[in-house]
Amino acid sequence: MTQQYQDILSNVNIEIGAEERRIADRYYRIAIMLKAVDLVVLVVMLTALGAYLRKGGCVIERILLVLYWAMFATYFFYILNKRLYFRKIKNSLLTDCDPLRMLSCIMALLSHSNRKKSRSWGLHFYNVGTCLYYAGRFEDVRKILPLFPQYCPAAADRFKYELLCARLAYHERNEQALYTHCNYLSGWAGRLGKRDFLYDIYRETMQYPTLLRMEKDGAWQQAYEMLRQADAANERSGRSMLSRVKSNFLLYRMAKGMGDERRAAYHRDFVLQNGGSLWYRQGVE
């Protein structure tokens, strides 16, 4: 158990569900077992290779071939186990719109971590903060933010920190803070590829200053059209349910500002039906 993990729990109350802990424990056991098998196979393979170089022989050559494929198969199952587990974690938020379940899964997994200097901690803090935000626990997000500069001074982690700060600033209608955070993020415009997992989040975040200014000016129709066009463009590239719920929540708010109750009701119904435990659902109830 690392100091980072303890610092998260000392600042924020997070309950780890029994089911999430059981799944994380199983994933960890399988991963450790596959790593151990892979290491044993590698040692035996190196021993057999030494014997082959000294003596040669068809039997040893066949053994080497079997060991090679055994090592390859073990590594393949290790990667498969990891991908399936992390896909399940992500889908709890992206598909099921259940941020607290994802948070429980993350913390159950991090309880096994012993890597104090892992480069992944910036991503872990970002994911924890993101889950807290979508669960509507905004003050708890602020308690997580100081952990970034403390443990993750790298530029890539500062980027994740600024994303969380900008999200909070928009939610709190803090225009000055939002501009400050987005100004930093704008420096990454040429550094993010379209395949980067944060690319869509970055694009969405960079809309917030314009959107907030339109809302403060009462330009509800203009804001609605901007969001609708972005929505149509995103639909062509495929999107998660989380993204669609967020979009419909914003469209609901703009439609209410316009006084268009018919459109507002449509977007409200979508959020209520698909919003899971996101704060957006409580926001339209």
**Which pLDDT score is estimated for 48?**
67
Write the pLDDT tens digit of every residue in 193-234: 666 778 888 989 999 999 999 999 999 999 999 999 888 777
**Which pLDDT score is estimated for 53?**
60
Phi, psi of 103 (to 5 degrees): -60, -40
Rounded to a whole number of angstroms, the distance between the first and last alpha carbons of the chain is 40
**Which pLDDT score is estimated for 102?**
95
**Region class of 16: left (phi > 0), else alpha (psi between -120 and 50), else beta:** beta
**Which pLDDT score is estimated for 188?**
82
**Which pLDDT score is estimated for 194?**
66
In whole angstroms, what separates CA 162 from the centre of its chain? Answer: 15
Give the residue from 270, 207, 273 showing the smallest Cα distance to 234: 207
Helix (H, G, I), strand (E, B) or coil at 242: helix
Sign of torsion over alpha carbons 57, 40, 79, 23? positive
Burial of 41 (0-12, 13-18, 19+ CB in 10 A): buried
Answer for the pair 52, 64: CB distance below 8 angstroms, yes or no: yes
Residue 17 DSSP symbol: P
pTM: 0.88
**Which pLDDT score is estimated for 74?**
86
Write the pLDDT tens digit of every residue in 48-72: 666 656 666 666 667 767 777 888 8
**Which pLDDT score is estimated for 211?**
94
Give the residue from 148, 145, 140 showing the smallest Cα distance to 165: 145
Which segments in the chain show pLDDT lower than 50? none
Rounded-to-integer distance, Cα 197 and Cα 86, Å? 14
Give the residue from 140, 170, 136, 167 showing the smallest Cα distance to 281: 136
10 Å Cβ neighbour count for 63?
Answer: 17
**Which pLDDT score is estimated for 50?**
66
